[in-house]
Amino acid sequence: MRFAPVACVSFLACAVGCNVLLDASKYHVGSEDEDSSLACTKNDDCRRAMGDDGICPASTLRCARIRSAECTRVLGDATSDDAVIIGSLFPLEQTSGAPIENGVEVAFEDFRSVGLPPVPGGTRRRPLVLVACNDQADGPTAVRAAKHLTDDLGVPAIIGSGFSNITLQVANQVTIPKNVLLISPSSTSPTLTHLTDNGLVWRTCPSDLIQAEAHLALMPHIEHDVKLATGAEKIKVAVLHKGDPYGRGLVEALSPKLVFNGARALDQVDSGFFLRRDYGDPQDPNAQPDYPATVRDIVAVEPHVIFLYGTTETVTQLIAQTEATWHTSLGYRPFYVMADGSAVPELSTYLASVPDDTRRRMLGTKPGTVGPNFEAFKSTYLSRVHDGTSPAATWAVNAYDALYTVAFSIVAVGADPLRGPSLAHGFERLVSGPRISPGSSSVNGAFDLLLAGTSIDYDGASGPLDFDRATGEAPSDILIWCMQRDEGPQHSDTPSEPRITPVYYSASDRKLAGGLPEIRAFCGF
């Protein structure tokens, strides 16, 4: 990568002005439409021939239907011939996908009212239009949706997908060959760093190499506490990971450097003190997980510490079944160390039905930062989104920043053709210069600077986004979360969503800022 920054069909209330037609049956959807061969010069040409869903993309000058079977939601004024259309691509029917799409749409509302400035030499402002697609966490579905966005609509950029393996499929099969920019807010696999992408694959989230460093820094503290609590002279450690680029990336970064019992983890495999298990990938028909077998092996090993690198299944399948079948005669239960993929609503649901001791044996991490920009994002999110999702949900804020970077890059392109390579060049103008914070009040000021040829330093809600051009990665601090009890009298027995502790891993200092005493005090351990 040359320089890479890092159901629900919608969850924003229509009171904010969403142009939505949710009933896809009212439209002929799909790329193979006989009307798509019609040449056109303006949208009205296609609307007369195809109905209200017809548009005339400037990049193709061939009629197309703006919606498809996977892409049924449209925000903004797509009837305008000056509209700039971009796409989003997430698993909207999953609990993890809803807040990510929300983050994109919250940012979109900051640009809806002002629009984009005219092309240099022009006079009319350009509406920004977002076509939201549901990839259903499925590679072939994501590829179909991406082809609709690129081939039919001619979008210059797509925000997505939610998972590293799907982002890789979309990039390799669609966006790179089509010269379309792809920016993911949540695909953290280190594999993306070295992807041959012609500078077209970006991300507003950091590589999982940094998150693994945070776990390595936590391990000595956890080992000390576990030994103190159990009286064990040596501890056993297990690492369970999903068989996709996300899970493999984390474990491959962790395992070679993991040390406990005074020795490298990899040197303790034969002695029975370390176990690594790839439990498969639900999205891969050739590697379907056998969760019961995985749990049986884990319970047989009797680990004191379990690292979990996956998504919802780490809670619903692995933790739940491990706890249910654990040998109580041992006198201890495992301590769980999780990554961002396990910070899902199902974790709160599970903890509501088990003893409080379970949540006390859990810590997790997620990339991010806290500060005034993030607090402003949370306030805006809560004012616009009323579906019960949280602005603190993993990657929602990164999705918010992804749309900001795309919108600012569109303006930075100036009069050049609006395509992926030009947008990538525009991104390079967002990393130095006057500092711009997100928010609707900052948008026009940023536009003026970019139109004047001045670069800006976009200080995102998810962090400063100071991208290293040499490595293609944006360093990010790693926050540490735990599961607290709700404090109100009506909810005193109900675990809340993951809460960010005051302790974090500093990407710049490469060490923990704080320790377990502060975490225990905050989390009530």
What type of residue is 194? H
199 and 218 co-located in one domain:
no
482 close to 476: Cβ distance less than 8 angstroms: no
Within-domain flag for 493: no
pLDDT of residue 394: 79
Whether the Cβ atoms of residue 294 and residue 300 lie closer than 8 Å to each other: no
Residue-by-residue DSSP string for 224-239 = HHHHHHH--SS--EEE
Number of structural domains the chain divides into: 2
- The H or E element that residue 212 is part of is helix 208-230
- Same domain for 113 and 22, yes or no, is yes
State whether 217 and 346 are in the same domain.
yes
Burial of 185 (0-12, 13-18, 19+ CB in 10 A): buried
Same domain? For 265 and 316 the reply is yes
Residues 234 and 327 in one domain: yes
Tell me if 247 sits within 8 A of 222, measured CB to CB: no
Question: Do both 260 and 331 map to the same domain?
Answer: yes
214 and 355 assigned to the same domain: yes
In a domain, 110, yes or no: yes
Peptide bond into 161 cis (omega under 30): yes
Pair 407, 431 in one domain: yes
Mean pLDDT for back-to-back runs of 10 residues, the chain (525 residues) = 39 41 38 64 94 92 95 95 96 88 96 90 92 95 97 96 93 97 92 88 90 96 95 96 92 96 95 95 86 95 97 95 96 96 90 92 90 93 92 90 96 93 91 93 95 94 76 76 68 65 91 92 88
**202 SS3 class:** strand
Query: Angle at which helices 440-451 and 396-413 pack, to 10 degrees?
Result: 30
The boundaries of the domain holding residue 413 are 14-27+67-205+372-458
Q: How far is Cα 335 from Cα 304, in angstroms, rounded to an integer?
A: 6
Domain boundary, last residue among 396, 430, 458: 458
Which CATH number belongs to the domain containing residue 287 in this structure? 3.40.50.2300
Residues 232-262 as b/e (b if ≥16 CB within 10 A, e otherwise) read eeebbbbbbbbbbbbbbbbbbbbbeebebbe
Residue 367 falls inside a structural domain: no
pLDDT of residue 263: 97
Bridge pairing between strands 73-75 and 64-65: unpaired
Q: Is the same domain home to 145 and 175?
A: yes
Q: In this structure, is residue 228 part of a structural domain? A: yes
Cα separation, 488 vs 60, in Å, equals: 57
What are 391's two structure tokens?
């602005």
In a domain, 260, yes or no: yes
* Predicted structure pTM score: 0.84
- Partner residues linked to 202 by β-bridges: 183
Does residue 47 lie in a domain region? no
Name residue 188's amino acid: T
**197 and 214 share one domain:** no
Q: Are residues 285 and 389 in the same domain?
A: no
DSSP code, position 119: P
Same domain, 225 and 351: yes
Query: What's the CA gap between 62 and 36, in Å, rounded?
Result: 6
In a domain, 480, yes or no: no
The last residue of a domain, from among 458, 473, 505 = 458
Q: Are 250 and 243 in contact (CB under 8 A)?
A: no
In a domain? residue 488? no
- Write down the pLDDT at residue 91: 94
Cβ proximity of 171 and 411 under 8 Å: no
- Determine the pLDDT at residue 90: 96
Q: What is the pLDDT of residue 23?
A: 37
Neighbours of 147 (CB within 10 A): 18
| Rounded-to-integer distance, Cα 210 and Cα 308, Å | 16
> How high is the pLDDT of residue 17?
39
